[in-house]
Amino acid sequence: MMMFTELAKAGGSEVLADYSLGPVQSWRPLHGGMFLTPILLVTASGKYVLRGHRFRSSERCFRFQAETLDYLAERGFRCPRVIRDRLGRFGQNRESTFWAVHEYLEGHLYNWQDWHAAKSGHSFLEDVGFQVARIHDALVIANPTGDGTLSPALPPIQFRCLGAIRQQWDYDLECIESLPFKSVQVLLGSRHKIQEHWDWLTQQVSDLAMNRLPHQLVHGDVSPVNMIFSPSGNSLALIDWDCLHRGLRLYDALGDVLNRPPVELAEVASFDIDEIKTYLNGYQRGTAKRLERAELLCVPTFCLARQLEDLRQRVRVIPQLTPEQDSKFEVLIRGRIRIMSEIRSFAEEGFLWAA
């Protein structure tokens, strides 16, 4: 994670000179950011977030994200819009990183322990599903300019690129084989089982004709870590739109919202069918275009794919782990692998997902 002194070296502080934000009174790092730590800036004119974006590192590419946020904001959705500088630019590129200033959204961000407790209440989980559906409905007709391509090397799994994604997985796993980490030993010890899960996913994508389902703009990383609940608690806003792309709405909606317990429960928590039903009941209430049977039949496949996506991301960052982080990864990885086996058991028993 990049702290403020490193940010200054990378050119982020230089970018601020082109904004009319007033003097910076204070700053602090925020949680989140897949590669670079977002920085909360308190200035004479208000609060802002300075972020370095590496997925879309040019004005042309980043425009796609910035215009989508403008589109949502104009329709009444809270989102971290991009502040233009004095020359009307969305930001500036410095050393392969596109630095942009975003609006800061006041509200509550759940940690995994509190999220686990909150979603045990059906009304809470239904309401989250309802609000995610409304955001998806708004994105259906969004038409931002710029380049909307998202590399298949980045999250989430894009099912049209599954072959390339599997090759990347194998390569990344080979790169860490010699590292003396507990998490690596778990991955290597479960390598055959994980390969079976990849095989199952590949077959399901074909059998369910998943790539024929309608694609639309989606957030790309719907998760509690990217949800800001308003101070009143009545509405949520999605932050971190770096994975914005054209994908499948239900895969996006399921995200990492469900069946992701805190680390202390990761090895004992069971796959919760009722949790999914409750969430999707809310989604169905919120969308103008109800989920169809063909989409609902993909639910177990989407759930398993999200577990593999988590492993895929963890493999990429394992070389930078501290011993404490490695121990946490070990537990979470074991939990993900176990949950995948449970998902397949439910799917293969013919559970009525499309009810």
Average pLDDT over residues 174-200: 97
- Token representation of residue 352: 């009525």
Beta bridge partners of 29: 39
Strands (E), 104-239: 216-218, 227-229, 236-238
Of 3, 236, 276, nearest to 109 (Cα)?
Answer: 236
Q: CA distances (Å), 69 to each of 77, 219, 240, 311, 349, in order?
A: 9, 11, 11, 29, 42
**Which of 163-177, 257-271, 290-304, 314-328 shows the lowest mean pLDDT across its residues?**
257-271
Beta bridge partners of 216: 247
The whole-number pLDDT of residue 155 equals 93
The whole-number pLDDT of residue 35 equals 58
Which domains are present in the chain? 4-103 (3.30.200.20), 112-348 (3.90.1200.10)
Average pLDDT over residues 91-117: 93
Of 182, 204, 181, 177, nearest to 308 (Cα)?
Answer: 204
Query: Which pTM value belongs to this model?
Result: 0.93
The whole-number pLDDT of residue 348 equals 76
Average pLDDT over residues 34-58: 87
Average pLDDT over residues 138-159: 94
pLDDT band at 353 (very low <50, low <70, confident <90, very high): low
| Residue 22 exposed, middle or buried by CB count within 10 Å (0-12, 13-18, 19+) | exposed
Rounded CA-CA distance 69/206 in Å is: 34
